[in-house]
């Protein structure tokens, strides 16, 4: 449903001549801080959206396997950490679901690491096999790609997996 919403937004943006691109993150502009919450759902054209759709759907689905409530909280952490990282360190208007994609990647890896459940470990291993090379996207290489969004989305995902990890088993007998 979110993916369909991103497509509707990009169609509207196309019809409006790119007017929705203003809802990207403009760094260092305090009046623009609220766009931290809109930027991950906007894209800089259909090519950008097409490139993000499949990994967003796959990694988002896998991130939601443990429950929608954890998924929503993790997504919020990713959006805030990723968006603020862009706001502080970028020099250009930034938009796109890459913040969430890298965040879901980090969340899934962190969940495998912190939860240590067989399913979470298997998902983390599968994600590394399918998308492991995307880790290089956190390095500055192409000035038209926000490495800051990638890096801080990834950090937000790992942070989200740590915050949402299971607590100690409370049923254990205390000595």
pLDDT greater than 80 at residue 3 = yes
**pLDDT for 168:** 59
Average pLDDT for residues 49-62, to the nearest whole number? Answer: 96
Q: What is the pLDDT of residues 64-99, one digit of tens each?
A: 998 999 999 999 999 999 999 999 999 889 999 999
Give the whole-angstrom CA distance, residue 168 versus residue 171. Answer: 9
What torsion, rounded to 10 degrees, do the Cα atoms 161, 164, 165, 169 define? 180
Around Cβ 174, how many Cβ atoms within 10 Å? Answer: 4
List the Cα angle 36/109/165 in 5-degree steps: 80
pTM of the model: 0.91
Query: 43, 95 in Cβ contact below 8 A?
Result: yes
Using DSSP's 3-state secondary structure scheme, residue 82 falls into: helix
CA atoms within 13 A on the CB side of 53: 14
- The tokens 């790992």 sit on which residue? 158
Confidence (pLDDT) at 174: 44
In the predicted model, is pLDDT for residue 126 greater than 90?
yes
């Amino acid at each position: 449903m979110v993916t369909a919403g991103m497509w509707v937004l990009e169609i509207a943006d196309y019809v409006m001549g790119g007017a929705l691109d203003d809802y990207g993150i403009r760094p260092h502009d305090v009046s623009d801080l609220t766009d931290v919450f809109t930027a991950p759902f906007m894209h800089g054209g259909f090519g950008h959206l097409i490139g993000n759709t499949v990994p967003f759907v796959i990694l988002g689905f896998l991130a939601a396997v443990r429950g929608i409530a954890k998924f929503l909280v993790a997504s919020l952490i990713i959006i805030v950490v990723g968006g603020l990282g862009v706001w502080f360190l970028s020099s250009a208007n930034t938009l796109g679901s890459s913040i969430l994609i890298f965040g879901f990647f980090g969340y899934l890896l962190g969940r495998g690491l912190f939860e240590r459940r067989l399913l979470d470990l298997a998902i983390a291993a599968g994600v590394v096999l399918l998308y492991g090379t995307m880790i290089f996207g956190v390095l500055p290489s192409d000035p038209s790609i926000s490495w800051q969004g990638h890096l801080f989305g990834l950090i937000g995902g790992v942070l989200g997996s740590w915050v949402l990890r299971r607590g100690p088993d409370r049923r254990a007998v205390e000595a």
